[in-house]
Every structure is written in C-alpha cells, then in structure tokens.
Structure 1
Amino acid sequence: MPKFRFHKLAAVVVLVGFAAWMATGEFSSVGSVAANKAKAEEVEQAKTPGADKPKTAEAEPEAPPRTVAVVTPPRKTYARAIRISGLTEADKRAVLATRVAGVIDKLPVKQGQHVKTGDLVLMLAAELDAAERLAKTGNLPKLQLDTARSNLTSAQSLLETAQAELDRNEVKAPFDGVIDRVPVELGSSIMQGGEVATILKLDPVIARGEVSERDLGYLKLGDKAAVRLVSGQTVEGTVRYISRDASSATRTFRVEVAIPNADGSVPAGMTAEIALSALPTDAVLLPRSVVTLGDKGDLGIRAVGKDNKVVFFPIDLVDDTPTGLVLGGIPADARIIVAGQELVKEGDMVKAVEADQATIQKLLGEAAAGTQ
C-alpha cells in the first residue's frame, strides 16, 4: 500500500511540473534556437555594409604609364618640294623636206652645225642643170635634154614665174638651231617631200615630266625648278607650261620646265629628276623614325595631348631632305613622341618627358646617314 502511494505521488509531481512548463511557453523554442540564432546573425550582417559580400582575392595594382620622350619642334616656313622623274627634250624640232623633186646641187650644212633662221640648208639644181648632168651620165636621152633647154628659154621670158620656181628648189632653216641629222648626200636625186635634215632648237632645253593630281594645285607658271640630270649635272629652270588635261591612263598632268642652254651643254632625251619649288608652307623638321602608321593605315606621327593620352596626327610631306622630313599638318603645340612611339597606341595614358638635345641630334644624324 505504501508502495502504491509513492508511485502515485511521483506521477502527481511530474504532472504538476509539466503543467508549469507549459504555462511558461518555452516549448516553442525547442528545435529552433539555432535557427533563431542564425537569423539574428543575418540581420546583424545586413546592418553592416559589405558584410554580405564574399571575400575575393585582392585586385592587382595597375601598371604605371609608359614613359615616352617628346619634343615640341620649332616651326619654320618651308618651300614645298615636288619631285618627279622626266626627260629633257628640244624646245622645237623640225624635219625639213623638199617641195619638188630634183638633184641636190648645194648642201652647205652638216650634222652638229648651228644655223640661223633663213640659212640655206639645201638647194636643188635647176631643171636644165639637172638634165644636163643626167645626160652626161647617160641617164637622160638627148631628146629630153633639148626639151629641157627649150623649157628654160620659155622660163626666161617669164622671170617672175621662173624665180618662184627656183625658190621652190631651196630649203632654209625655219628657226635658229642645230642640225641634228642630214640623211642625204650632195649630187644625189631626191623625191618631192623627201627628208633633207632634222633641226633642233636647244636653247632653251625643256625638262618634261608628269605631276600627280594631288600636287597640281601647288604649282603655278613661273615657279623655279632644279633639274638634276643623270650625268650628275644640276641646272636651274622655270615652269613654263602646266597641262590642264590629265592623262587618261595615269591621271597625271604634263609639266614643262624651260632651262637656259646657250652653250648647248644639255642634250635632248636625257633622264632627269625635276624638283619643283611650290608654295611655301608652315612645317617642322623631324627625323624619319618618328613617322608611323595610324589605325587606318595612314602615315602620321604620335603625340601626347594635354590629358597625357596618346593622339595621332596624319602628316603632309612637304619635303624629304638629307637631315630629315619636313612635315606639315601638325598642330603648333603638339608634343611629338620621338622615342617609344611604336610601343603605344592612341588613347594610352603615358608619362611624357622632354627629349634631350643629344637624343634629337642622334635621331637627325641617323636620318641623314640613311640617305647617303
């Protein structure tokens, strides 16, 4: 009996304890304490900026700007030089011919001889003289000789007509020049229209070439020109003619330079390089090494802008000299890269330092050496 009471008493105690626990409400936290703790940590992290971002490797530091050497070259006025290949030729050229057929009675000129306008180059024998000469050689029957004598008698009665006929037997120089070719011999027979001699006028001698349509606008009549012959001789001349009609094949324009040649030292038909001095322009002198290709394949130079970024300027080649290139189209305040220009591109940030005189002189010296 006492044992039964003890068990009953224990059950009552347990029941009372359970009822008290239920009254406190703590049972709702069972199994969720860890979840609530995790939620509290998330709320705390949300209040801290950047706390929810995963940790990553630290970013690598950016490479320092590349150092380039620059110059701001002095500007000068240069005469634009246009160089073209060409040939020398005579100012005038004429092939002399006879107006009637006959036998050459006088031939007072020879190749290389200088003549004046109106000088006698060739005279045909009068018809009777020629007939007698042919009769003596057996080339003309006596009957025809008698006919020729009769014709001469008739001609003497008509002096003016005869004189005009005699004038037709003469060939005279049409202008001052030099006899270049004489393909006939004294005493030989020649047909009407037969070639007698070739005469050239070599003062002035003409240097002829073709200029591109791009350079045409820089030239005008009267411009000075230097002509270097293949023999090494250099002579001065003046532009006397510029064609206004381009060649359909090459789209180039004929240009003629007149060169004084009183002594005849410059022959016709010689290869020549013609350097035309065109309108002057504002430009700078730089070594050839600074010229590079842009993104579009055009020639130009790279420079550093005010924001220390690389910029590209297309160039206008004014002249090519032994000491460097004369370039136009470059802004006055441009800081031109003379060392390192091939290692950077447009838009790159760079550190620009002024090139020293030794570097500049070295670059110019290399440019001059490259032309020798």
Structure 2
Amino acid sequence: MAKVRFHKLAAIGVLIGFAVWMGTGEFSSVGSAATESEKSPEAEQVKPPVRTVAVVTPARTLHARAIRMSGQTAADKRAVLATRTGGIIAKLPVKQGQHVNAGDLVLMLDAEEKNAAVETAKQLVVQREAEFAAQQRLVQSGNSPKLQADSVRSALAAARSQLEAAQAELARTQVKAPFDGVIDRVPVEPGSSIMAGGEVATILSLDPIVAKGELSERDLSYVQLGDDAEVKLVNGETVKGTVRYVSRDASAPTRTFRIEVAVPNPEGTIPAGMTAEITVRAKPADAVILPRSVVTLSGNGDLGIRAVDQDHKVTFHPIDLIDDTPTGLVLGGIPTDARIIVAGQDLVSEGDTVDAVEADAETIKKLASEVAGSLQQ
C-alpha cells in the first residue's frame, strides 16, 4: 500500500515540475539562440577585408595629341611631256636627272619645211604692208578710191593670219618644260621617229616634296590646314612640313581622308615614292602622364583607371588616350583631384571601400621601371 502511494507521489511531482518548466517559456529560445550562435561566426567570415591600395595625384600637363599615319612621298607636280605633231627628233638637249627651268627646250623635231613656211609668210606680210601703205597715200591724195584701200587692208590681214598659222605649226615641233623641275625619264633618242602624242619625257617638281597619307575619321577634327607636321622617312631622316590639304571626301573602302604635307626640298634630296610616317600635332589638351600598368578594364570592359574618392570608395574613370610617349601614356578625361590607384587596382572593384595610402618612392621607382621595360619590349 505504501509502495503504491510512492509512485503516485513521484508522478505528481514530475507533472508539477514539467508544468513549472512550461510556464517559464525557456524552451522557446533554445532553437533561436542556437541559430544566432551559428549565424554570428558565418557573418563574420563573409564580411570582406578592407584592402590597402597605393594612390598618386599626378601633375597636370598640356600635351598636343600626336596623330600618326603611314604614307609616302610624292612630287609636287608631275607631267608626262608629249609631242603635238609627228616627225624626226632633231634635238634632245636634256638628260635624265637634269634640272630644267620653265620654258627650257626639251625636244625639237626636224622642221625645215615649217621654217620655210614661216619665212615665206613673213615676206608676204612685208609685201602686203608696203602695198597697204602705198594705197593709203593714193587714197589721201584722191588718186584712188577708198574701196581699193579696203581690199588692200584685207589682203594684209590675211597675210598676217598666214604668218601666225605658220609660226604655230613651227611651235608644235618644239616641246618645252612647263615648270621648274627634274627630268626623270627620257624614253626617246635623237634621230628617231615619233608620232603625234608620243611620250617625250617625264618631269617632276620636287620642291616642295609632298608627303601623302590617310587620316582617320576620328582624327579629322583635330587637323587643320597650316598645322605643323613631322615626316619620318624610311631611311631614318625626320623633316618638318606643313599641312596643305585635307580631303573632305572619305575613301569609301577605308573611311579615311587624304592628307598632304608640304616639305621644303630645295636641293631635291628627298625623292618621290619613299615610305614615310606622318605625325601631325593637334592643339594642346589637359592631360596626365601615367605608366601603362595603371590602365585597367572596368566591369563593362571599358578602358580606364581606378581612383579613390573622398569617401574611400573605388571609382572608375574612362580615359582618352592622347599619346603614347617614351615616358608613359598621355591620358585625358581624368578629374583634376583624382587620386589614382597605382598599386592594387586590379584587386578591387568599383564601390569597394579601401585604405588609400600615398605611393612611396619605391613604388614610384617600380612604376618607372615598368615603363622602361615596356618600351624595351
């Protein structure tokens, strides 16, 4: 009997203890507490570390964009001389490579009968002039009618026309230089026969020599007539000239515009047809000079540089490549107060918070060596 009472009392005690525990509500916080304890370490692991990057604020400079294009030299003027009538070559006083002045005789055909025709026409003019003078005296004295004088005047005019025609026919037997230049080619020999329109010689005017190239449509707005230009010849010689012509009609296949640079060549030492590199300097623009290693790509694939703003956030600035010089890339489009990342720029992204420190002398020295190394490559 006593044993039964003990079990009942034990059951009642357990029931009362469970009811008290339920009443406290402690069980409801067990799962959440465990979840918070599990999440807290994970949150600390996901939080990214703040990276340290080296920055510089580069000096500003005014730099003239260098527009380079390949081309070749050409003669300022080029003419293929030809005869206006056929015949036998009597005189050929020029040789290949000889300098001639405008009006110098280049070739003369045998023209004995034409010379005779000119002399006959001259004598006829002299005769008609004498007849006209005598007739005028008779008219003035009243011994001849005025109508007779008009007839003699007409005969004189016809004689003069005949002389002019004979002289023109004689002039066709001569070929003269149309401008100052150099005889480049003479395909005929004295004593040979030549037809009307036959080639006699090729004459070139090499002062100035003209460097011709093709200008990109993107660079068209930067080039003006009269701009200074440099022409580097294939033999290493560099000469200076002036832009004298820029086409306003693009080539359909290449979408480029023809450009001509006139280079003084008084001695004729620069030949036509030589390969050349033409460099035209545009108007100076505000820019900075940075090593090639600083340039990077944005998330969208744009070319530019990364910088740090006042809030220690990484920003991206697209660049305008003005020039490529031995000291580095000349870049435009960068804000004046930009602190450009020169070390660690490829390890951060736009919007990241970073610890920006000024680049030390060693970092700057390393950047300079990178520039030198890229130039050697």
TM-score tier by shorter-chain length is 0.7 to 0.9
Residue 80, structure 1, aligned to residue 84, structure 2: no
Q: Which residue of 235, 242, 248 maps to 1:238? A: 242
Aligned residue in 2 for 1:40: 23
SS in 2 for 1:56: helix
Residue 307, structure 1, aligned to residue 311, structure 2: yes
CA distance change for structure 1 residues 81 and 68 in 2, over 3 Å: closer, same or farther? same
Residue 153 (structure 1) shift? 8.6
CA RMSD, 1 decimal:
2.9
Residue 367 (structure 1) shift? 1.4
Code of the residue aligned with 2:262 in structure 1: it is A
Say whether the 8 Å CA contact 1:102–1:127 is kept in structure 2.
no
SS in 2 for 1:371: helix
The TM-score normalised by the length of structure 2 is 0.79
Aligned residue in 2 for 1:56: 38
Code of the residue aligned with 1:68 in structure 2: it is V
Residue 165, structure 1, aligned to residue 150, structure 2: no
Say whether the 8 Å CA contact 2:304–2:319 is kept in structure 1.
yes
The separation in 1 between residues aligned to 2:367 and 2:34, in whole angstroms, is 59
CA distance change for structure 1 residues 47 and 369 in 2, over 3 Å: closer, same or farther? closer
Alignment of 1:238-257 (within 5 A): 238-257=242-261
Between the aligned residues of both structures, percent identity stands at 65
CA distance change for structure 1 residues 55 and 288 in 2, over 3 Å: closer, same or farther? closer
Code of the residue aligned with 1:36 in structure 2: it is A
The separation in 2 between residues aligned to 1:358 and 1:51, in whole angstroms, is 52
CA distance change for structure 1 residues 41 and 94 in 2, over 3 Å: closer, same or farther? same
Residue 345 (structure 1) shift? 2.2
Q: Which moved more, 1:311-320 or 1:223-232?
A: 311-320
SS in 2 for 1:96: strand
Aligned length: 329
Residue 106, structure 1, aligned to residue 91, structure 2: yes
Say whether the 8 Å CA contact 1:323–1:365 is kept in structure 2.
no
Code of the residue aligned with 1:286 in structure 2: it is L
CA distance change for structure 1 residues 152 and 217 in 2, over 3 Å: closer, same or farther? closer
Residue 69, structure 1, aligned to residue 64, structure 2: no
Say whether the 8 Å CA contact 2:114–2:166 is kept in structure 1.
no
Residue 34 (structure 1) shift? 5.1
Residue 32 (structure 1) shift? 4.9
Residue 358 (structure 1) shift? 3.6
Code of the residue aligned with 2:38 in structure 1: it is T
The separation in 1 between residues aligned to 2:185 and 2:216, in whole angstroms, is 36
Say whether the 8 Å CA contact 1:45–1:51 is kept in structure 2.
no
The separation in 1 between residues aligned to 2:38 and 2:101, in whole angstroms, is 101
Aligned residue in 1 for 2:181: 177
Residue 92, structure 1, aligned to residue 74, structure 2: no
The separation in 1 between residues aligned to 2:185 and 2:20, in whole angstroms, is 121
The separation in 2 between residues aligned to 1:349 and 1:310, in whole angstroms, is 6
CA offsets per residue over residues 116-145 of structure 1, 9 Å max, x none? 111111111115499xxxxxxxxxxxxxxx
Residue 300 (structure 1) shift? 1.2
Which structure has the larger Rg? 1
SS in 1 for 2:219: helix
Residue 247 (structure 1) shift? 0.9
CA distance change for structure 1 residues 245 and 45 in 2, over 3 Å: closer, same or farther? same
The separation in 2 between residues aligned to 1:203 and 1:276, in whole angstroms, is 21
Code of the residue aligned with 2:52 in structure 1: it is T
The separation in 1 between residues aligned to 2:256 and 2:368, in whole angstroms, is 34
The separation in 2 between residues aligned to 1:152 and 1:199, in whole angstroms, is 30
Say whether the 8 Å CA contact 1:155–1:161 is kept in structure 2.
no
SS in 2 for 1:161: helix
Say whether the 8 Å CA contact 2:71–2:276 is kept in structure 1.
yes
Residue 360 (structure 1) shift? 1.9
Q: Which residue of 243, 266, 284 maps to 1:280? A: 284
Residue 370 (structure 1) shift? 2.7
CA distance change for structure 1 residues 365 and 53 in 2, over 3 Å: closer, same or farther? closer
CA distance change for structure 1 residues 185 and 47 in 2, over 3 Å: closer, same or farther? closer
More helix by share: 2
Code of the residue aligned with 1:33 in structure 2: it is I
The separation in 2 between residues aligned to 1:197 and 1:208, in whole angstroms, is 24
Aligned residue in 1 for 2:264: 260
Say whether the 8 Å CA contact 2:114–2:169 is kept in structure 1.
no
Code of the residue aligned with 1:89 in structure 2: it is A
CA distance change for structure 1 residues 332 and 54 in 2, over 3 Å: closer, same or farther? closer
CA distance change for structure 1 residues 52 and 343 in 2, over 3 Å: closer, same or farther? closer
The separation in 1 between residues aligned to 2:174 and 2:321, in whole angstroms, is 57
CA offsets per residue over residues 5-25 of structure 1, 9 Å max, x none? xxxxxxxxxxxxxxxxxxxxx
Residue 227, structure 1, aligned to residue 231, structure 2: yes
Say whether the 8 Å CA contact 1:286–1:364 is kept in structure 2.
no
